Structure 1
Amino acid sequence: MGVFFLRKKTSYPRQKNLNLNLIILRMKNKYLVINKKGKICEPGVYIASKECSSDMKVLIRREVLGEQWEPEDKSDYIKIANMLGFSWEENSQIGFVNYNYKADLIKRLVEGYARNLVKDIGFPIYEVKGSNYFDLKHPVVKAYAGLFGDRLFKSDGMVMSYDASYPQFNLASKMSLKESDFPFAHFSISDCYRNEQSGECMLLYRNRRFFMPDIHPYFKDVKQAWKWYPKVEAQLKKSFKLAGRGYLNIAKISSEENWDEYKDEIGNLAIGNNKAILVDIKIGEEEKYWIVDIDYGVIDKFEQFREIGCIQIDVGNARRLGIKYDSDKYSVIMHSAIPGGIERYIYMLVDNYENFPIDFRPVQLRIIPVSEKYVDFALSIVDANPDLRIDIDDRAESVSKRIKMAYKEGVGNLLIVGEKELKDNSYLEVINEIRENLNIKVPFIPIGWPVLVSKRI
């Protein structure tokens, strides 16, 4: 008997025949690239260089040139998401997700991972919970809601929470703060609502209701925000590494003046991470509340850039909402979601399903006894390893059929047990290998459904 590791390799081709006659000015945006050494260059120059990765080429073609094409291979992410228990809610509008028992477990695991990541940043974290329903008659609510326009869910003068910003900022505005209190952060995992167009909704990636692990660190000034930026970013980078994904950056700059002032800080990020950054400078637009907004994302199997998380430095909302210290000074706020929106992070895992981390598998190991005689032995393995999610397929089917069923259910690993395993304890190698691949920042949550597959409804 033996061990089966369920991994399916997939690949997808890159579009060839790149058009190198790139423009750097499009739709009031000026595009530049900061390369790995911190040198600023035009996208057309960078895309032709040996340093430019295939994913970066796709990013430039999509974002700078606005090119559109269909990849040669189709993504099967919908099929995988459905297998893991994520689907659109049939009794609601498009954009509202239904989470079955497996999907809900994955969601809770990612939420726990988010909590553990933010704890490691290094400043005090205050986890809070606010309302998600606000009265637009309140002038501060109205002012903040005005930032998001038609994407808000509104009804009878009330508005659903777009993200956790306003509830957290409202709490911060009531604090008696002094300079020595900085930095600190508010954190919450909240249900958020955005009135996405039905044609733009995309299961897991773009939903009308979703869960956001919003963290808002507060700083005394912009200089302090930049000082702490790498420590916040480090937690995002860890989450991409666990997902087995390399990330790309788009640094959106709110004005040419802010580009001139902060290009050295952005260049230092490129050098420190040994990673090129696509820069998107807004030209001639109305003043924004943020100075920089840096996206962290991936190129998925649709060959599209998908933002998973971001870090934004906000110099406007403290004044708008009255977040002061020492009576008359306004704080600077950083916006981020670590490891990104909960569903968006799961989308990234599903898109790269062949490397789906064992930490987030609803079932980390399925034991298949070769006959009913070995079910008790399988149960003893489960009892001896309460810190792993293990189930047992005791159904009266052939071993080969149960292996196929496990693959279709998204089980992490398989262990076939019979007389050999009973006598020599060789199964321990499998248990140890699973443990060696676990990430200590992902909390353990046991399965709540029956261990014996035959007992499930």
Structure 2
Amino acid sequence: AAVLEHYPDAKPTIGPAIDTGFYYDFDFGETTIKEDDLKKIEKTMRKLLPSWKEFSHQEVSANEARSHYTHNAYKTELINDLESEGATITLYTVGNFTDLCRGGHSENPAKDIAPDSFTLDKVAGAYWRGDEKNPMLTRIYGFAFENKEALAAHQARIAEAKERDHKKLGAELDLYVIDEQVGKGLPLWTPRGTIVKHALEDFARTLEKRYGYEHVETPYIGSEKLYRTSGHLDHYTSSMYAPIDMDGGKYYLRPMACPHHIRLLMRKPISYRDLPVRYAEVADYNRYEKSGELMGMIRVRKFELTDGHIFVSPEGLKEEFKNVCHLIEEGMRGLGLSDTVSYRFSKRDPNNKEKYYPDDALWNTAETTMREALDEIGFEYTEAEDEAAFYGPKLDVQAKNVNGKEDTLFTAQMDFLLPEKFNIEYTDKDGQKKRPVMIHRSTIGSLERVFAFLIEHYGGNFPLWLSPVQLRIIPVAEAHQEYARGIYDELTAVGLRVELDTENESLGKKIRNAKKDRLPYFAVIGDKEVDAKKITLESRDGSSRFETVNHLANDLLAEIENKG
């Protein structure tokens, strides 16, 4: 209503309530709405509120409803859909404003809504009905809470979230870039970001080796025959890029590595003595995402997954899945995310016959096995129906980003289908051919997504083992540079990531820069340090210590070893 007072030609479309308030999408035509315009709209909302004492509603025919919206194609489309569904069509009126709506409003907005309990937040673009082929609309977001205090608390959380946003910190700390000429959703890792990436890769590989995985390398492309056999071309083409014509055949950038690992397994006969076979790979993937769904490093088009596939006998499935759960728990603990993530047991909807592989006995076995494995190791989880993969149930590792939106960090899935599609067999102890079960799983998820969550979780203050620069040495004056250089050489020789700041800046500015760069440690080298042949180590928590270089090196290496 307030928008139409200022922009009478605007076309309202839809506007639901959401967890933190509401939004409404408008077509403003040639008019561009900026966030500065929200103040006047909000002021008008407060002016109208005292007169909004009661909603009245009217059930109308589709023709009557259309007559209200002769100049609004969006509302007309909604009315046509309601008509085809045979749904009741209702118009709600309050004050001078009437809208097509299902209802569920406050009985008395003037009484129930405090004028200082809401505010307009931001303007964003949104495609009509979420389809990028449709017109782009203007979405106005607002916060609404029970009272002024709850609103203020939420705004404080939002302000902190903005400071922790991985897109903001990624730029400030020079960790990654999304370059327009390279393309949307195609991140470029900077030298500093690459250090973090390699640390995550090493962490995942070390963990996988301890859990009995063999590391493999497979190509990021595959033939049409491969993806036809796997079923990806039947069920996953919307997320795959157009094929490349080559050597008289079609090849695809891979969205997943499971078919490659299967063919690698099938290079030789398999015995029950070989099982379980555990393959792991930091695998390159390319998946198409709509441009409106891309977000920083959380949702990209090219990424690297700490992927793995296990081939196990049906009898060994439960114990092997327990092993996977232990690996995941240890991975999350090592990253410091144990208290941040949650686990979801995703099952099929048995009534949704089109979405899932049609074998009730197989599904019952898989879901029972997964539930028993989770329960026997005391895993805390929630259950979600109709969230399984096409071929089997899965355990989703869920995490909320800094804005409160929950995403799946990665999954572990049981799969009885692909072994059948590829006709994988092993010889059991009686010499009979049997079909193994496959487990798809990740160790820490995609490097891009977990990197984004880690940036936000730590606010850019990475633990020592992940920090691109672990220590910066700051000589006070030129006379101290020789000693500082010697310290630099000693510490880098034992594998520490050290920078030597020889810039012609004041000491105060150098210290401020070290803090701004969110370094875990910096060391100021002056006369005291040179005379004592020691170093004063300053921590970002404000503490300091005066010690020998050898003692310092041992302390930092121990902290890294303990994932500090």
Class of the TM-score when normalised by the shorter of the 2 chains? 0.7 to 0.9
Please give the alpha-carbon distance, in whole angstroms, between the structure 2 residues aligned to 1:336 and 1:78.
27
Q: How far apart, in 2, do the equivalents of 1:173 and 1:95 lie?
A: 34
SS at match of 1:421: helix
Identity over aligned pairs, percent: 20
Structure of higher CA gyration radius: 2
Give the residue type in structure 2 aligned to 1:148: Y
Cα distance, 1:270–1:412 mapped onto 2, change above 3 Å: farther
User: What amino acid maps onto 1:347 in structure 2?
Assistant: A
For the 8 Å contact 2:176–2:188, the answer to whether it is kept is yes
Alignment partner of 1:233 is 2:355: no
Residue in structure 2 matched with residue 26 of structure 1 by the alignment: none
Contact 1:365 1:413 in 2 (8 A): yes
8 Å contact 1:163–1:212 — kept in the other structure? no
Where does residue 516 of structure 2 map in the other structure?
A: 408
**Is residue 377 of structure 1 aligned with residue 483 of structure 2?**
yes
1:219 aligned onto 2:327: no
TM-score normalised by L of structure 2: 0.61
- Which one of the candidate residues 443, 447, 471 is aligned to 1:365? 471
Change (3 A) 1:236 1:178: same
Partner of 1:78: 167
Deviates more, 1:74-83 or 1:331-340: 74-83
1:140: Cα distance to partner?
A: 4.2
1:138 is displaced (CA, Å) by: 5.2
| Partner amino acid, structure 1, of 2:497 | R
1:114 to 2:204 alignment:
yes
One-letter identity of the residue aligned with 1:300 = N
CA distance in 2, matches of 1:16, 1:267: 37
Residues 132 and 69 of structure 1, relative CA distance in 2, 3 Å threshold:
farther
In the alignment, structure 2 segments of 5+ residues that lack a partner are 1-18, 22-140, 144-153, 245-249, 351-359, 535-545
Q: What do residues 389-425 of structure 1 show as CA deviations (whole Å, max 9, x unaligned)?
A: 1111111111221122223334332111212223342
CA distance in 2, matches of 1:126, 1:195: 29
* Contact 2:472–2:523 (CA under 8 A) maintained in structure 1: yes
Instruction: Map 1:67-146 to 2 at 5 A.
Output: 72=155, 73=158, 74-75=161-162, 76-82=165-171, 83-121=173-211, 123=212, 125-137=213-225, 140-141=228-229, 143-146=231-234
Contact persistence 2:230–2:259 (CA under 8 A): no
- How far is the alpha carbon of 1:238 from its aligned partner? 2.1
Whole-angstrom distance in 2 between the partners of 1:264 and 1:189: 28
Helix, strand or coil at the partner of 2:298: coil
Cα drift, residue 117 of structure 1: 0.9
Report the equivalent of 2:291: 198
Counterpart position of 2:38: none
**1:314 equivalenced with 2:415 (yes/no):** yes
Written as runs of structure 1 = structure 2, the 5 A alignment for 1:29-428 is 72=155, 73=158, 74-75=161-162, 76-82=165-171, 83-121=173-211, 123=212, 125-137=213-225, 140-141=228-229, 143-156=231-244, 157-221=250-314, 223-245=315-337, 246=339, 247-256=341-350, 258=363, 262-263=367-368, 265-266=370-371, 269=374, 272-273=377-378, 275=380, 277-282=381-386, 288-290=390-392, 292-326=393-427, 328-354=433-459, 356-385=462-491, 386=493, 387-424=495-532, 425=534, 426-428=546-548
CA contact (8 A) 1:134 1:141 kept: no
One-letter amino acid of the structure 1 residue matched with residue 558 of structure 2: E
Output the TM-score relative to the length of structure 1.
0.74
Query: Is the alpha carbon distance of 1:339 and 1:134 closer, same or farther for their aligned partners in structure 2, counting shifts above 3 Å?
Result: same
Cα deviation, residue 207, structure 1: 0.9
Name the SS of the counterpart of 2:284 in structure 1: strand
Question: Given the superposition, is the C-alpha separation of residues 90 and 409 from structure 1 closer, same or farther in structure 2, using an over 3 Å criterion?
Answer: farther
State the Cα distance separating 1:263 from its structure 2 match. 4.7
- Displacement of 1:267 after TM fit? 5.9
Listed one character per residue, the Cα deviations across residues 170-223 of structure 1 (whole Å, up to 9, x for unaligned) are 1112330011111121121121100011111112111100111211111011x4
- Which residue identity lines up with residue 344 of structure 2 in the other structure? I
Q: Distance in 2 between matches of 1:303 and 1:400?
A: 37
Distance in 2 between residues matched to 1:329 and 1:89, nearest whole Å: 50
1:139 Cα deviation from its structure 2 partner: 6.8
1:113/1:441 contact within 8 Å kept? no
Deviation, 1:353, is 2.2
Deviations, residues 360-397 of structure 1 (Å, cap 9, x unaligned):
11110111111111112112212222221111111111
Equivalent position amino acid for 1:251 in 2: F
Do 1:116 and 1:441's aligned partners in 2 also have CA atoms closer than 8 Å?
A: no
- CA distance in structure 1 between the aligned counterparts of 2:227 and 2:193, rounded to whole angstroms: 39
| Alignment RMSD | 2.8
Structure with greater contact order relative to length (CA < 8 Å, sep ≥ 6)? 1
Change (3 A) 1:350 1:210: same
Query: 2:311 aligns to what SS in structure 1?
Result: strand
2:509 partner amino acid? K
Q: Which amino acid aligns with 1:406?
A: A
Task: Check whether the contact 1:130–1:167 (CA below 8 A) recurs between aligned residues.
Answer: yes
Gaps of 5+ in 1: 1-14, 18-67, 443-457
